[in-house]
Structure 1
Amino acid sequence: MSSIELQFDEKNEDVLIWNGQVVMSRTEEEYFKVLFRRLAYLKPVSVLEIGYGLGISAGLIQEYLMPLRHDIFEIEKAVCKDLERFSDANLSVHSHCGDWKQSVIDQQYDFIFFDPFDYSPNQQSDEEERAETARRMRLMLNPRGVLCHPHFGDGDVPHLPGFTTVVVERLKVSPIRMADETSCEDVAIVFHRPDVNS
């Protein structure tokens, strides 16, 4: 399971910036709080989280979803050290340092939160990448499980092959600092369920 070591432009408890791009910022916290509070009714026993970043979502998953098992993958070594400290403080959390795509994940989960930052140039088209990710997510989800990811902006939620998409709510939040340094106030709470017909 390969991990990478990067030189961040800025790395502190409020922001991660790499190569001039905002990987994650504390401005996402308000949105994530609403998201996990709204989805707490799902009561997942097992959660897979891909991408740790500043640990905002990890902390909120612990607070609102309270899973018995919470596996988190992080590819970047310095961020992974933060994840390991978080794991030490939270008994249900299991940290995995490396690329989730190169890992054998032989467990199925009730809830997957997918929020990685892509540090590598993309070799596939967005559509090919989405289809491959969807295929792998279906294998890792329980048949009645839920795949969730952030949705920034007021545009359409991309369709995932083999899944039914549910837009729970669209809302406005305090401005979120985006990767390209623009800001976004429009967000959606979205999840996908495996389509029983495919």
Structure 2
Amino acid sequence: MLGVYGVHPGVEHYGYMVDLHGTAGFLEESLELIRTMPMTPNAAVWGSLLCACHIHKDTRVSEQVTHRLLELDPRDGRNYVFLSNIYASTNRWNDVELCRNLMIERGVHKIPGCSSIEVNNVFHEFMAGDTSHPQFTQINTFLDEIAKKLNGLRHEPDKASVFHDIDEEEKESSIRYHSKMILGMENDLNVEGY
């Protein structure tokens, strides 16, 4: 970059390289690149590696990265949640509880998930746990109908993303209203207008 284009690499360029290496599965190389950067890596650089760890399901590196992110910003609830999810994905329920207690102790709150959709030029937003939408009952009834059709087609929901120590039936129920599941169902059922 410097020799050909006269551009001094900045933190964002290192972030891009970490993202490229990490996405390709070279997590250790990404970690080494971060350690040898001539400037202090910011949360975006560490976050790029964290996303790659999630893609490649590397709990060891992702735990290291999340601890670094917590050092950078101990008030960011997303980092605690991600670390908790890492522990949950490997059934480390005591560590999950430790993360949650640490959040409470430090007064850190999780930002609720949000999904949005535009239907007939009307924008609808849904927050996790929010029941205030005027068509909430109809929407839930529709989702229950979709779930029944999927069960009839022998569709198996992906319960791997449920990071709670609950039984399989509760996991299936908890993902029924998740936006990623709903979007994926449209193609399976040829649902239009929702």
Alignment TM-score > 0.5, same fold: no
Which has the larger share of strand?
1
User: Which TM-score applies when normalising by structure 2?
Assistant: 0.26
User: Which TM-score applies when normalising by structure 1?
Assistant: 0.26
